[in-house]
Amino acid sequence: MVNDEFKAYAEEAIIHTYNRFPVAFDHGEGVYLYDTEGKKYLDFGAGIAVNALGYHVEAYNDALKAQIDKLMHISNLYYTEPMADAAHKLVKASGLERVFFTNSGTEAIEGAIKVARKYAFKKDGCTDHEIIAMEHSFHGRSLGALSVTGNFHYREAFQPGIGNIVFANYNDLEDVKSKINEKTCAIIFETVQGEGGIYPAQKEFIQEIRRICDEKDILLILDEVQCGMGRTGKMFAYQHYGILPDVMTSAKALGCGVPVGAFVVGKKAEEALEPGDHGSTYGGNPFVTAAVSKVFDLFESENILNNVNEVAPYLDQKLQELVDKYDVVKETRGLGLMRGLEFNVPVGGYVSKALEKGLVLISAGTNIIRFVPPLVITKDHVDEMIEILEDVLKG
Ligand SMILES: *Cc1c(COP(=O)(O)O)cnc(C)c1O
């Protein structure tokens, strides 16, 4: 934990947009983190679902070091091998057609929105198309991504947003249907809502929306920034439902630590964007795409999906036992290693206590603890986590 002097030093120079926990992390090893004072922590947050492979992964680090010595950056005016390779691997893993690399999840959402508007514009030349987004969704903090984020508290002071966004209730088919009209160009949602409280899409909801989108030539945009990249036990969460989106956004674990995102388009929208329509100076530079490429290789060689599918049911079972045992714990839900534990009370105090006891947890909303550990955890790590968490719950 950090002392007051260091805390004051940091706060003095950083805009106060986060209430940070009083800890400064220094390095990691496997699924453990160490702070600047050498204290060890078991990590069930993974830098908000980013560090899927855990820490100090030699093969990953070596690939990045090698790329640093060759070429960090060259701009999108030229080809690079790392970008072409990473794009092919992402296309193969997603079942979609083409990739645009961004620097974050937010920018991936911006790109997806532009694809939808351009696709509709090319059809009728109009500029008044609508996008349906979901209540309690989270898509990022830039003005475009914020405009489709279903949390008025985040949006209020920054109005007006991009306009022509209509909100519907997640997993409420009738509500979504009632908001579709001839101006609707896209429907966007997270395949598993993350910030909103770990709610997986219901099968009937997502499949019926897919059908309606096909029927009415509306683009289905699925945000896989948090739930993608193996977290739910499939490479992308929509693969649980036997459907494909028209546009998919990825980030977080895509680079396992380097700032990279992507929007990936399927057959229908693959030619919506044309030269001059979109760009990024850094987007997909050789350094970050060398990381992406290595991440896909390691997911295969380390059998990451198998591990998720083996450990996730055990985590679910252990969390269910907490629901049965403690009155303050209400329910557990999720998919794979993306799980929520909902309490009848705010969880902030529990999260802080856990951190003091050497367990990194994160919340989603006020009443939910979110479990998004590195995807390489074992059942023993689950036991270790539960032991500390029970300690905290017993006060
Ligand atoms: C984190 C997140 C984003 C935003 O990604 P950034 O990399 O923080 O810009 C968008 N959508 C979802 C579902 C997320 O969890």
**pLDDT in the model for residue 395:** 86
Say if residue 234 is in the same domain as residue 165: yes
**pLDDT in the model for residue 3:** 87
- Mutate which of 104, 106, 141, 249 for ligand 1? The one with the most ligand atoms within 8 Å of its CB, which is 106
Question: Which residue lies with its CA nearest to atom 5 of ligand 1?
Answer: 105
Say if residue 97 is in the same domain as residue 8: no
Ligand 1 centroid distance, CA of 139 (Å): 5
Containing structural domain, residue 93: 59-301
Q: What does 311-358 look like in DSSP terms, one character per residue?
A: HHHHHHHHHHHHHHH-TTEEEEEEETTEEEEEESS--HHHHHHHHHTT
Atom of ligand 1 nearest to the CA of 140: 4
| Number of structural domains the chain divides into | 2
Say if residue 216 is in the same domain as residue 241: yes
Q: Both tokens of residue 67?
A: 């790329």
Positive or negative, the Cα torsion across 37, 40, 43, 49?
positive
Say if residue 46 is in the same domain as residue 75: no
CB of 138 within 6 A of ligand 1: the answer is: yes
How many whole angstroms separate alpha carbon 73 and alpha carbon 335? Answer: 37
How many whole angstroms separate alpha carbon 170 and alpha carbon 192? Answer: 10
Query: Strand, helix or coil at 221?
Result: strand
**pLDDT in the model for residue 323:** 98
**pLDDT in the model for residue 170:** 98
The letter for the amino acid at 57 is V
CB of 104 within 6 A of ligand 1: the answer is: yes
Ligand 1 centroid distance, CA of 269 (Å): 22
Last residue of a domain, one of 251, 268, 301: 301
The domain that contains 153 carries what CATH number?
A: 3.40.640.10
Say if residue 18 is in the same domain as residue 44: yes
Strands 184-190 and 219-223: parallel
Say if residue 115 is in the same domain as residue 212: yes
Say if residue 30 is in the same domain as residue 105: no
Q: What does 8-44 look like in DSSP terms, one character per residue?
A: HHHHHHS-S-----S--EEEEEBTEEEETT--EEEES
The letter for the amino acid at 375 is L
* pLDDT tens, per residue, the chain with 395 residues: 788 999 999 999 999 999 999 999 999 999 999 999 999 999 999 999 999 999 999 999 999 999 999 999 999 999 999 999 999 999 999 999 999 999 999 999 999 999 999 999 999 999 999 999 999 999 999 999 999 999 999 999 999 999 999 999 999 999 999 999 999 999 999 999 999 999 999 999 999 999 999 999 999 999 999 999 999 999 999 999 999 999 999 999 999 999 999 999 999 999 999 999 999 999 999 999 999 999 999 999 999 999 999 999 999 999 999 999 999 999 999 999 999 999 999 999 999 999 999 999 999 999 999 999 999 999 999 999 999 999 999 98
Ligand 1 centroid distance, CA of 341 (Å): 21
The domain that contains 49 carries what CATH number?
A: 3.90.1150.10
Last residue of a domain, one of 284, 301, 318: 301
Cross-strand pairs, 189 = 222
Alpha carbon separation from 214 to 182, 188, 220, 248, 370 (Å, rounded) = 14, 14, 9, 16, 34
Q: What does 58-72 look like in DSSP terms, one character per residue?
A: HHHHHHHHHHHHH-S
Ligand 1 centroid distance, CA of 105 (Å): 5
Strands (E), the chain: 25-29, 32-35, 40-43, 98-102, 130-134, 165-168, 184-190, 192-193, 199-200, 219-223, 247-250, 261-265, 329-335, 338-343, 359-360, 362-364, 368-371
**pLDDT in the model for residue 1:** 76
Last residue of a domain, one of 282, 301, 320: 301
Sheet holding 261-265, edge to edge: 98-102, 261-265, 247-250, 219-223, 184-190, 130-134, 165-168
- Mutate which of 147, 225, 249 for ligand 1? The one with the most ligand atoms within 8 Å of its CB, which is 225
How many whole angstroms separate alpha carbon 249 and alpha carbon 388? Answer: 35
Say if residue 222 is in the same domain as residue 81: yes
Say if residue 68 is in the same domain as residue 198: yes
CB of 226 within 6 A of ligand 1: the answer is: yes
Atom of ligand 1 nearest to the CA of 223: 13
Say if residue 173 is in the same domain as residue 191: yes
**pLDDT in the model for residue 336:** 98
Cross-strand pairs, 341 = 332, 369
Cross-strand pairs, 326 = none
Positive or negative, the Cα torsion across 359, 360, 365, 369?
negative
All residues at 6 or more sequence positions from 252 whose CB lies less than 8 Å from its CB, including other chains = 48, 49, 50, 105, 225, 226, 228, 229
Cis omega (within 30 of 0) for bond into 286? no
CB of 223 within 6 A of ligand 1: the answer is: yes
CB of 251 within 6 A of ligand 1: the answer is: yes
**pLDDT in the model for residue 152:** 95
CB of 370 within 6 A of ligand 1: the answer is: no
Say if residue 102 is in the same domain as residue 228: yes
Please, what is the end-to-end C-alpha distance for the chain in angstroms? 20
pTM value?
Answer: 0.98
Chain centre to alpha carbon of residue 236: 11
**pLDDT in the model for residue 43:** 98
Say if residue 38 is in the same domain as residue 28: yes
Question: Which residue lies with its CA nearest to atom 15 of ligand 1?
Answer: 226
